[in-house]
Amino acid sequence: MTVHVVGIGLDGASGLREEVRQIIAQATVLVGSDRHLNYFPEYCGDRIILKDIKATMRAIRDRLETDLVIVVLVTGDPLFFGLGRLLLAELPKEKLTFHPHLSAIQLAFNRIKIPWQDAKVVSVHGRCWDQLTQTLQQGAEKIAILTDDHHNPAAIARLLQSLDLANTYQLWICENLGGLDERVGCWPLAAISTQRFAPLNVVVLLRQTEASQEETNFANLPLLGLPDSSFLSYSDRPGLITKREIRLLVLGELALKPGQIIWDIGAGTGSVAIEIARLFPSSTVYAIEKTAAGISLIEQNCQRFGISNVVSIHGTAPEILHHLPSPDRIFIGGSGGNLKEILRFAGAQLHPQGVLVLALATLEHLTLATQWVGDKGWEHHLLQAQLMRSVAVGSLTRFSPLNPVTILSIKKRSLG
């Protein structure tokens, strides 16, 4: 007895090799959905309609000893998010033979004419949104999504709009791939909710380059609390930015005033420095960043926002800090493993009654910083931020947590 697992497309029996069609003709039982079974109206053997998976598996096992050839019809490639995985779990491997068809993902990328060997494939068919949300937040360049009635193109568009991603995505919807009524198109997010799409569809998201991204309407941006998506970010680490909510807390803790000198150490993309510079044009913000990619992003973001009072400094702290004017305020967002040395030098250079604020993500750095300020005897306090943002999940909404951050605010004594 052999169980042949045959992948089939919307072109039906005509899309199968002659060898596979002969196997189906010789089968003693044919298993599949109504749609799959209807491709073979001439078949005269037994048929098992695939509805309840567990009941179907029991029926196949019951026939293992009596039927010589069992054929299970599935969509595309049985071992690509298909029934093949369950069959391998339920039946002896030596009894199974697979005959894959082109998968919907292959067809989708070939219709769009985009290489897909580096694509991230995510199935939300009967699954939750977590993997897709994480993949989007990581900024994957190409994402193919297997959908279902609930996790459909409109729900995916709502998810994209709710995440405030650093990158923008072009959204393709590929319907009835391989069928006579196949339709493939690129859709603006705002238009998807008003359209109807075939139940058999694949969504492909293509991350846009800086040049092809829609221009941000800077005239409508708020004075305080810029959206994360308005900043250019690292292409391989788009989530590496001080989040908007944390920026707002940091700005409050810094107790800023006009005409000050501010150091932003570990400036990354320059989000904190730019927020400060927009609020206080008479201040000068020195954005210190050790990576060339970060410095490039800081300078590009300053150009985007029309900022002229941010000075980007390429180098490693604390060594690069020696030539800077003494600051009234310091923000440390990243230390590159040199936190103790940075605190020692920055604390010495900070003006009396100046404020130093740290955003700390690890217990080790929090311990080191609190011990340092405790030894100094300077006034300080801690604020732990554990925040969540609302995220669309289909037609509903849930909260998605941001990484917890502890903000340590320090005020230097007049003496010492």
CB 289 within 8 A of CB 295: yes
Assigned CATH class of 221-412: alpha beta
CATH code of 105-207, in short, is: 3.30.950.10
> pLDDT value at position 236?
67
Q: What is the mean pLDDT of residues 62-79?
A: 88
* Of residues 267, 316, 304, 271, the one with CA closest to residue 287: 267
- Looking at residue 230, its pLDDT comes to 87
The mean pLDDT value for 191-212 works out to 86
Q: What pLDDT is attached to residue 167?
A: 79
At 104-123, the pLDDT tens digits run 999 999 999 999 999 999 99
CA dist 339 and 162 (Å) reads 35
pLDDT given at position 210 = 55
Cα separation values, 154 from 68, 202, 323, Å: 46, 12, 54
Q: What's the token pair of residue 63?
A: 């026939």
Tell me the three-class secondary structure of the chain, residue by residue. CEEEEEEECCCHHHHCCHHHHHHHHCCCEEEECHHHHCCCCCCCCEEEECCCHHHHHHHHHHCCCCCCEEEEEEECCCCCCCCHHHHHHHCCHHHEEEECCCCHHHHHHHHHCCCCCCCEEEECCCCCCHHHHHHHHCCCCEEEEECCCCCCHHHHHHHHHHCCCCCCEEEEEEECCCCCCCEEEEECHHHHCCCCCCCCEEEEEEECCHHHCCCCCHHHCCCCCCCHHHCCCCCCCCCCCCCHHHHHHHHHHHCCCCCCEEEEECCCCCHHHHHHHHHCCCCEEEEEECCHHHHHHHHHHHHHHCCCCEEEEECCCCHHHHHCCCCCEEEECCCCCCHHHHHHHHHHHCCCCCEEEEEECCHHHHHHHHHHHHHHCCEEEEEEECCEEEEEECCEEEEEECCCEEEEEEECCCCC
Q: Does residue 65 carry a pLDDT above 90? A: no
Percent of the chain with pLDDT over 70: 96
Q: What is the pLDDT of residues 125-172, one digit of tens each?
A: 989 999 999 899 888 999 999 999 999 999 999 999 888 787 789 999
Asked if residue 402 has pLDDT above 90, the reply is no
Contact 37, 130 (CB under 8 A): no
Cα–Cα distance between 307 and 281 in angstroms, integer?
A: 8
Q: Which residue has the tokens 């995220």?
A: 391
212 pLDDT more than 60: no
Look at the pTM and tell me if it is higher than 0.75. no
The 10s digit of each residue's pLDDT in 343-383 is: 999 999 999 999 999 999 999 999 999 999 999 999 999 99
pLDDT digits 0-9 by tens, 16-29 = 999 999 999 999 99
CA distances from 191 to 114, 133, 188, 195, 360 (A): 23, 21, 6, 7, 41
Provide the pLDDT for residue 209.
Answer: 67
CA distances from 7 to 78, 93, 302 (A): 6, 17, 53
pLDDT of residue 214: 47
Predicted local distance difference test score (pLDDT) of residue 393: 83
Domain ranges of the chain: 2-102, 105-207, 221-412
Cis peptide before 199 (omega within 30 of 0): no
Q: What is the residue type of 55?
A: A
Q: Which CATH code for domain 2-102?
A: 3.40.1010.10
**The predicted structure's pLDDT at residue 181:** 93
Nearest to 149 by CA among 124, 169, 131, 132: 124
The pLDDT tens digits of the residues spanning 202-211 come to 999 999 865 4
Phi-psi label, residue 205: left if phi above 0, alpha if psi -120 to 50, beta otherwise: beta
DSSP lists the bridge partners of residue 143 as: 120, 205
Query: Six-digit token pair at 379?
Result: 């006034």
